[in-house]
Structure 1
Amino acid sequence: MAVGGAFYGLHMGHFAGPLLRWLYFICGLAGTAMIGTGLVIWLGKRQLKHVKSAALPFELRLVEVLNIASMAGLVSAVAVFFLANRLLPVSLAGRADWEVNAFFMAWGLSVVHAVLRPGRKAWIEQLTLGAALFIAVPLINALTTPWNLGASLMQRDWALAGFDLTCLAMGLFLGWAARKMQRSGDSVSVRKASPSPRSITVEQGAN
């Protein structure tokens, strides 16, 4: 119990004040982003070797699916967990367990979605869904409880206000990431569709 309590306090940042907790949180995000971007870069380099193939080898396709589900899908599942906390009836038996079940069901569905959809489209769709879910968290909170963002700010309840603002920021960030990936995909499609200058010259010479 002592070891468990120590790890829990370390995880929740009980050893620090608000400023250091935010720094702790940001450093945690940075470490997670480093691992996630490393996985994406690793896969991208290997996909270049199969760019002319009709389909990726099974092992690379598996890594692609797991990358999507473990990053975009996991983020959406966290938002579902927060929404379940607000939407499930208070009188529901085993309510806390159902919040956890909602998290894992959403995460499992993200795996199924990543299997059924092409890689880039799956990324865009799951990032867009995550953006919508996180933006919905403070909205649902305002509709189902008296502790909306405006009330929290007026009462200077920085814990609740910080939570809502962080959810909004996360939603905007995920929306930006989805939009950037969409535009990147569009530009790649245009480059593939446009003939190279050399091919135009050769074609004119042949004519």
Structure 2
Amino acid sequence: APLLRWLYFMFGVAGTAMIGTGLVMWLGKRQLKHAKTGVLPLELRVVEVLNIASMSGLMLAVASFFWTNRLLPGGFAGRADWEVSVFFTFWALSFMHAALRKGRNAWREQLGLGALLFAGLPLLDLLTCGRYLLDSLMSGNWVLAAFDLTALVTGLFLGWAALKFKVVPVDKTARVSLPVAAQEAP
């Protein structure tokens, strides 16, 4: 049964990556078509914001859920409601952030914050629960060890992805976010 769970997890991650890269490639192709005009149609900007918030923003929301789970006391009244509220609040904030920032900057900032939050989970476990990854591995607590290792690997992956959106020097030619075209009233 554990092998089957890991297979479900791995195939779920692979499917998510396939969909995510498809969304980004689709948008990138359309942005290139409009690069000559220097203006990005509003519809494409909306798709860009939705892509950022639904991929990196969702990762932020999940990480915030895990942090809330560890920071709230065990007997806290309405704990589950708070965890869900924090999840959706972070997700909504990621939508607003993506709408207010240029595409590359929003990707880099959200992925970077997600990297810090996920990579920091094992440290947070040490500070709040008194247990740490090495202790989980040595005591044979494979569920906690697997969670901490998965969080750490996720943080490292998000950090790597954030670095891919590094700031492009002004003198270099590169794909940049275009200004949004004003829409005329019907």
Deviation string for 1:46-105 (max 9, x for gaps)? 111111344311110000000000000001110000000000123322001100111000
The match for 1:7 is none
Indicate the larger mover: 48-57 or 61-70.
48-57
Change (3 A) 1:81 1:69: same
Gaps of 5+ in 2: 175-186
Q: Tell me the number of residue pairs that the alignment of Structure 1 and Structure 2 aligns.
A: 174
| Bigger helix fraction | 1
Opposite residue 173 of structure 1, the aligned amino acid is: F
Name the Cα RMSD after superposition: 1.6
Q: Whole-Å Cα distance in 2 between the matches of residues 39 and 24 of structure 1?
A: 22
**Runs in 1 of length 4+ with deviation above 4 angstroms?**
none
Q: Whole-Å Cα distance in 1 between the matches of residues 119 and 140 of structure 2?
A: 21
Q: Whole-Å Cα distance in 1 between the matches of residues 65 and 59 of structure 2?
A: 10
The match for 2:119 is 135
CA contact (8 A) 2:23 2:51 kept: yes
For residue 26 of structure 1, give the secondary structure of its aligned residue in structure 2.
Answer: helix
2:139 to 124, 143, 155: 155
Answer yes or no: is 1:62 the counterpart of 2:54. no
Deviation string for 1:122-177 (max 9, x for gaps)? 00110001000001111111110033212211111000000000000000000011
Change (3 A) 1:91 1:155: same
Gaps of 5+ in 1: 1-16, 193-207
Within 5 Å, which residues of 2 pair with 1:31-70? 31-70=15-54
Within 5 Å, which residues of 2 pair with 1:83-122? 83-122=67-106
- TM-score w.r.t. the length of structure 1 is 0.80
CA contact (8 A) 2:105 2:165 kept: no
The match for 1:202 is none
Q: Whole-Å Cα distance in 1 between the matches of residues 164 and 171 of structure 2?
A: 14
Deviation string for 1:95-122 (max 9, x for gaps)? 0110011100000000000000000110
The match for 2:165 is 181
Q: Whole-Å Cα distance in 2 between the matches of residues 55 and 77 of structure 1?
A: 31
Q: CA deviation at 1:188?
A: 8.7
- TM-score w.r.t. the length of structure 2 is 0.88
Opposite residue 95 of structure 1, the aligned amino acid is: R
Opposite residue 176 of structure 1, the aligned amino acid is: W
Answer yes or no: is 1:190 the counterpart of 2:168. no
With a CA cutoff of 8 Å and minimum separation of 6, indicate the structure with the bigger relative contact order.
2
Q: Whole-Å Cα distance in 1 between the matches of residues 153 and 128 of structure 2?
A: 21
